[in-house]
Amino acid sequence: MRILLSGTPAYGHLLPLGPLSREARAAGHEVALLTSGGMEGAVGPDLPVLPAGPMPDVLFAEVARRTGGADPASDPDPESVAEFFAGTRVDLSSAEALDAAEAWKPDLIVAERFDCVGPLVAAQLGVPWNVLSIGPSTPDEFFQAMHRTVASRYADRGLTPTPPSAFLDPCPPSLQPDGWQPPENRIALRPEPHRIDGEPWNVPDFGGRADRPLVLLTLGTVFTDVGVLRAVLASLEAVDVNVIATLGPDGDPEAVDVDRSWVRMVGFVALERLLEGVSIVVAAGGSGTVLASLSRGLPMVVLPQGADQGINGERVEAAGAAVVIQEAAQVGAAVARVLRDDSFRARAGVLADEIAAMEPAARVVQRLVSQVSNRG
């Protein structure tokens, strides 16, 4: 079977597709990824990309032009978020996407939840599709705005939106807001930290400091700011910990001057490897980092920088597995509190057990393929 994955050209939106891609190919299916060509290799070195549309910098610039300066990344509101995902991205990507998908001829499409291009392709080709959520539930007004915005794009093509066959949900119910109701046809997909098979990695050697707790500091792949990282590290100096700090895919670890006796700067390393030996994760609160950390039973300190990170942090804090702060200078005290109070690790362990009970990607792929087979 030919399975087309589709997503917004950003690591946080594409990496959750990785386990499905890996298991589908292991089962003998042909898999491709529909996104910007600039994301070649993002999900995995062997996953072919059907290039469609520009990268986020072009999309953000066009959103700002259309809206008079709105910034849906740093200051998200329903209308600007809808313009980014359901307006500008569809306008600048759908023609290439339709051509590429028609040539590739998928039997099944899986689109991450903020991707409005894959569902439009599915409607055009008459192909069944499934939606993959990427974290705790986003307030419904954001999706309502997206649906309103994209409706005219379907109308322009004489298309009617088709409902997804299944809602793949990697978020354990304990992280969902009060009153949350499972979507129709929900499949609980076990989240996994991003991995790259064969990636060389050894946990850094901190010499005589090896007995200190190890902190992973990551602000993700979009909001990494060296100034913020420096401020966080300054706050951690008094806590007596070791730190691995990641700069993401575009950073140069050697260019950042830090005290190498207790800090190791690294570039883009798969999160599965970065979590090895870690006692606590300090993060901006991207959904991938949150779910990966909790899958390993690791408590967190969350310093939101934008997008959905405030929502994610709020949910982990409500579940008792994290402390949310608003300033880099507060990180040290928050880390000391979490390390001192065993309840944070205990609650993270409960969430890890809940995640472990969810369906593995291999079984979910089998279910999706069976749905398509049973249709025809």
pLDDT digits 0-9 by tens, 164-182: 999 999 999 999 988 888 9
Under 8 Å between Cβ of 63 and 80: yes
pLDDT tier, 223 (very low <50, low <70, confident <90, very high otherwise):
low
Q: Quick one: pLDDT at residue 205?
A: 86
Which whole number is the average pLDDT over 56-65? 96
What's the pTM value of the predicted model, to 2 decimals? 0.91
Q: What are the sequence ranges of the domains in the chain? A: 2-191+359-375, 207-356
Question: Does residue 251 carry a pLDDT above 70?
Answer: no
Q: Which residue has the higher pLDDT, 260 or 163?
A: 163
Token pair recorded at residue 124: 């055009």
Predicted confidence at residue 221, as pLDDT, reads: 63
Residue 239 has pLDDT above 90, yes or no: yes
**CA-to-CA distance for 261 and 86, rounded, in angstroms?**
47
| Structure tokens that stand for 199 in this block | 């990636």
Residue 349's identity, in one-letter code, is G
Confidence of residue 224 (pLDDT cuts 50, 70, 90): low
Paired with 280 in beta bridges are: 215
Tell me whether domains 2-191+359-375 and 207-356 share a fold: yes
Q: What average pLDDT does the segment 117-124 reach?
A: 97
Give the pLDDT score at 339.
96
Q: Quick one: pLDDT at residue 259? A: 79
The domain defined by 2-191+359-375 folds into Rossmann fold (3.40.50)
- Per residue in 131-158, pLDDT (tens digit) is 999 988 888 899 999 999 999 999 999 9
What stretch of H or E contains 372? helix 361-375
Is the confidence at residue 197, as pLDDT, over 90?
no
Task: Round the average pLDDT of the chain to a whole number and report it.
Answer: 91
> Which pLDDT score, from 0 to 100, does residue 311 have?
86
The whole-angstrom separation of Cα 265 and Cα 157 is: 49
Sign of the alpha-carbon torsion through 217, 223, 227, 231: negative
Tell me how crowded residue 330 is: count the other CB atoms within 10 A of its CB: 16
pLDDT of residue 376: 59
Lateral strand order in the sheet of 263-266: 263-266, 242-246, 214-218, 280-283, 300-302, 322-324
CATH architecture, range 207-356: 3-Layer(aba) Sandwich (3.40)
Mean pLDDT computed over 334-362? 96
